[in-house]
Chains A and B, each alone.
Chain A
Amino acid sequence: MNEHEPLFTGAEWDFPLLQRVFGAIEDIGLNDLKLDVYPNQIEIIASEQMLDAYSAHGMPLMYHHWSFGKIFAREETMYNKGWSALAYEIVINSNPCIAYLMEENTMTMQALVMAHACFGHNHFFKNNYLFRQWTNAEAILDYLAFSKKYVAACEEKYGAEQVELILDSAHTLMEQGVFRYRRPPRPSRAQREERLRKRRQYEEESFNDIWRTLPGAARDMSADLASVDEDETVGLHAQMNLPEENIIYFLEKHSPVLKNWQREILRVVRNVAQYFYPQMQTKVMNEGCATFVHHYIMNELYDRGQIGAGSMLEFMHSHSSVVMQPGFDDSRYYGINPYALGFAMMSDIKRISEAPTPEDKEWFPDFAGKGDWRDVLKHAWANYRDESFIQQFLSPKVMRDLKLFAVRDGAEDPVYTVAAIHNESGYRKLRTSLARLYDLSSHQPDIQVVGANLAGDRTLTIRHNRHRGIPLAQGNKDAVLKHVRRLWGYSVELEEPES
């Protein structure tokens, strides 16, 4: 059944060989899996360059800041001491899609990595709705180049210390510097006045004194007028779009003390944060998609005889360490491995599509046994994020395989309580619990600017709306508030209502 000679046998690679193997992978990715990808640009880098890339959020360009140097120092020490290995690749959500491959990789690893990054991640970046909605793959590199130049120019002009102060403060608020929802554009003041004028005009035109004689009508009219008045008095608040959950955006637009260049730097930090926000919400899906794709492509290459048994074994070894999920009581346990969960779920979708059990038919009537797993997966990759994906697609079999169980931890309770396990009565509960864990709002605090007393002492009020009653960590809170104070210029208050 071997249609081809193996493309390579040894561990060595060179550029013509990479190109040939890429061609074979591309054939499977585009013609078999029917993936839809940005053009690929593959760059071979050395370990030190990988460390460089690590420290700047994996981006090829980034403005300078000491915190990146700190990451670099730590990673370098870890790497040199052999405590941690470097990633095999980094891939950037841009058009063309840039993938960095390490020069140390063997040819098998390069093949795996190309399948993983250039087709798996690339397809996900191009098709997932979050990335389509929130990131601009065409422009990101240009924007980073601009921001790097801009920050450097500011350092030149205003001093590195001044720039550092702003960046430090902005970085502490990075998680509060993203828009989570699109909103309709707020009408400008002129538009609102125009609307009010039209309304009054309509009322005048359609005035009929008879309505005044109806009981209760007069009161309504005056209430209406009062609300118009109030609209004028709280005009400032309304203009500032309060409440506002994007704190950096709010400070950028409304801080009374910042200079223009400082506002621009806030904007840079905010845009970087926004660019990475979809990645934070799709870790399981993104890695799962890439892992599933590389697994499929490598197996297909093997079936076609394009890679040999030796390579296949090497691939299996590295693939199985990537998708390993240690149990909670294992010393290696460090949370749920997104590669493991994502890959397990996507493989299971394929299984359910092809060979469903009665249980699967009951749980997934939409696609169980339909056979077209490519479409099901592509639909999932395009239209879900981790939370909704788990809520929709986590099957009892995967829960059983991973032996998942949910534990409730009340701060007041002396014990943890097992809330659900992988059994008939627990599946749905477990699935909901797990999905909720991947909802960023459950582990990132919900913090909003709710008031800015611009007419008085200019106090800024921030509110933390507790989710399930969990408060903010004390020490960090005060440290972050100092930074908010620096950016706002006047006193800042944080409310944390009990429920």
Chain B
Amino acid sequence: MTNFIDRRLNPKGKSLANRQRFIRRARAEIKEAVQKSLKDRTVSDFAKNQKISIPTKSTKEPRFRLDPSAGGENERVLPGNKDFVEGDQIKKPRQGDGQGRGKDASTSGEGEDDFSFTLSQDEILDIFFEDLELPNLIKTALKEIKSYSWRRAGLTTSGSPTQINLVRTMRNSFGRRMAMRRPKEDDIEVLRQRVLELRCGATPDADKREVIAELEEEIARMEHRRKWVPFLDPVDVRFNAFQQQPIPTSRAVMFCLMDVSGSMGEREKDLAKRFFMLLHLFLRRRYDRLDIVFIRHTHDAQEVDEHTFFYSRQSGGTIVSTALEEMKKIVAERYNTGEWNIYAAQASDGYTQTGDASRCVDLLNQDLMPICQYYAYIEILDEREMEVFSSEESGAELWRAYRTVAKDWKNFATKRIAKPQDIFPVFRELFAKEGTEAKV
């Protein structure tokens, strides 16, 4: 007697331990690959499963291998001869032409193909945010327990009788009956009626008997067909399908504020984009639902889509407070502070109209900071300025003004960056686990 064992329900992920070991081993390379892929991605779709390629350096498994190209004589047997005869000579491809196929074609070990595999979202994020945590995660809605609700999800062919979708089922049945030419009850009734009429009169003569016999045969045929093509066949039946959907227990909105006036060049915008990306990634992990609002400003602020935000040009003066006003307006219109966690990140080169800085401070102190979970201000400088403003105290008007806000609000942070390399350390510092010193 043979044993059949159903293992399908056994726990899956038997190789998880191996996978974790692998990722731990290739950590440095994976990290680098993930960072590199930052460039090509938009703020919001970065955190998806993605294929990455890493150099095989740390995960190489060397073996003793023979290298027939380096010496000696080798003989091979190949199938599919077409016109070769014994003694034919075939020119060798030049070095490098046809080499790439063998597993260990390269001799140095350096030229081997990169190793490609898919990194799950969780793994990507873990790599980014190891020992990071947003401060002030205070709202009760932030609990990580998910609850689910049932949502309609189309139709299925199997399910419990209580979920039968009558309309669809009957529509299928009707279509099938038409296609299969199922005789109608009414039609049979008409024939029966005629038989009855014919029988009713005097004793039927031979002609009538023949007609009756024909009609009865027809009735029998139709009835047989009715049995053969049932009114309702199992193939007709459709059930309503339901699916579990997570109810967003916590929602967040992230405001990206950026100065797009002429003083902000490609470089500045690129730096800002990276910062926003990182913030988005982090928030994504905390919240089921995350909205992003892009607000750009010159002397005037408006809400725009992501592409416009980063790539379209606009000239004008610089009034930072307009962006804060716009944000305040949007919050009031769309984001009820009881349901939404509000995060804001502002990027600027630090210039604003004289006198505007104090208005910004007022807006922040009175309207925005009380409702924001976190407000990060990054000032993008060039490297020369970075040296000039080496101390925290010195800086342009906006910087100095924001310093005063930072004193009053713990959830307000200010940072300066000048190079792409500055971003990650800054980010880590901003969101370093409370109580632990930021490591760079």
The chain A residues found within 8 Å of chain B, CB to CB, are 15, 18-19, 22, 26, 39-46, 48-49, 51-52, 55-56, 64-70, 72-74, 76-77, 80-81, 96, 100, 103, 118, 160, 164, 168, 171-172, 174-176, 325-330, 333, 336, 402-423, 425-426, 430, 433-434, 436-437, 443-445, 447, 464, 466-477, 479-480, 483
Given A328-B78, A403-B80, A419-B75, A68-B106 contact (CB < 8 Å): no
Considering the complex, give the chain B residue whose CB is closest to the CB of A45: B7
From B21-29, B153-161, B208-216, the one touching the partner chain is: B21-29
B64-82: which have CB < 8 Å to A?
64-82
Considering the complex, give the chain B residue whose CB is closest to the CB of A336: B79
Q: Cα distance A425–B85 when bound, in Å?
A: 11
Q: Cα distance A336–B77 when bound, in Å?
A: 8
When distances are taken between beta carbons in the complex, the residues of chain B under 8 Å from A42 are 2-5
Q: Contact at A474–B18, with CB atoms within 8 Å?
A: no
Q: Cα distance A402–B8 when bound, in Å?
A: 41
Interface size on B (CB < 8 Å)?
Answer: 65
Among B59, B86, B104, max chain A CB count under 10 A is at: B86
When distances are taken between beta carbons in the complex, the residues of chain B under 8 Å from A443 are 66
Q: Contact at A19–B89, with CB atoms within 8 Å?
A: no
| A413–chain B nearest beta-carbon distance, Å | 8
23 contacts between A and B (CB under 8 A): A45-B7, A48-B12, A66-B21, A66-B22, A68-B15, A70-B22, A72-B22, A73-B22, A77-B51, A77-B118, A171-B61, A172-B63, A403-B79, A403-B81, A411-B74, A417-B87, A418-B85, A434-B77, A437-B75, A464-B64, A470-B66, A470-B71, A474-B70
Given A49-B10, A69-B22, A415-B89 contact (CB < 8 Å): yes
B315 at the interface (CB under 8 A from A): no
Q: Cα distance A65–B108 when bound, in Å?
A: 26
Given A15-B4, A471-B66, A52-B79 contact (CB < 8 Å): no
Q: Which of A176, A404, A425 contacts B77 (CB 8 A)?
A: A404
Q: Cα distance A421–B19 when bound, in Å?
A: 48
Q: Cα distance A22–B5 when bound, in Å?
A: 14
Q: Cα distance A419–B89 when bound, in Å?
A: 9
Considering the complex, give the chain B residue whose CB is closest to the CB of A426: B86
Q: Contact at B4–A18, with CB atoms within 8 Å?
A: yes
Main secondary structure of the interface of A (DSSP, over half): mixed
Q: Contact at B71–A471, with CB atoms within 8 Å?
A: yes
When distances are taken between beta carbons in the complex, the residues of chain B under 8 Å from A433 are 75-77
Q: Cα distance A480–B17 when bound, in Å?
A: 26
* CB contacts between A and B, total, < 8 Å: 283
Given A474-B108, A480-B63, A327-B80 contact (CB < 8 Å): yes
B109 at the interface (CB under 8 A from A): yes
When distances are taken between beta carbons in the complex, the residues of chain A under 8 Å from B96 are none
The chain B residues found within 8 Å of chain A, CB to CB, are 2-8, 10, 12-15, 17-25, 51, 59-82, 84-92, 104, 106-110, 115-118
Q: Contact at B15–A51, with CB atoms within 8 Å?
A: yes
Q: Contact at A415–B90, with CB atoms within 8 Å?
A: yes
Q: Cα distance A430–B91 when bound, in Å?
A: 21
When distances are taken between beta carbons in the complex, the residues of chain A under 8 Å from B21 are 64-66, 69, 160, 164
Q: Contact at A49–B7, with CB atoms within 8 Å?
A: yes
Q: Which of A64, A69, A479 contacts B23 (CB 8 A)?
A: A69
When distances are taken between beta carbons in the complex, the residues of chain A under 8 Å from B69 are 411
| A428–chain B nearest beta-carbon distance, Å | 13
Q: Contact at A69–B82, with CB atoms within 8 Å?
A: no
Q: Cα distance A90–B2 when bound, in Å?
A: 17
When distances are taken between beta carbons in the complex, the residues of chain B under 8 Å from A418 are 84-90
Q: Cα distance A64–B78 when bound, in Å?
A: 39
Q: Contact at A473–B72, with CB atoms within 8 Å?
A: no
Q: Contact at B64–A476, with CB atoms within 8 Å?
A: yes
Q: Cα distance A325–B143 when bound, in Å?
A: 59
Q: Which of B4, B64, B68 contacts A411 (CB 8 A)?
A: B68
Q: Which of B5, B64, B82, B116 contacts A43 (CB 8 A)?
A: B5
When distances are taken between beta carbons in the complex, the residues of chain B under 8 Å from A52 are 12-15
Considering the complex, give the chain A residue whose CB is closest to the CB of B70: A471
Q: Cα distance A434–B117 when bound, in Å?
A: 36
Q: Contact at B84–A405, with CB atoms within 8 Å?
A: yes
When distances are taken between beta carbons in the complex, the residues of chain B under 8 Å from A49 are 7-8, 10, 12, 14
Q: Contact at B64–A480, with CB atoms within 8 Å?
A: yes
Considering the complex, give the chain A residue whose CB is closest to the CB of B79: A402
When distances are taken between beta carbons in the complex, the residues of chain A under 8 Å from B78 are 327-328, 336, 404-407
Q: Cα distance A45–B25 when bound, in Å?
A: 30
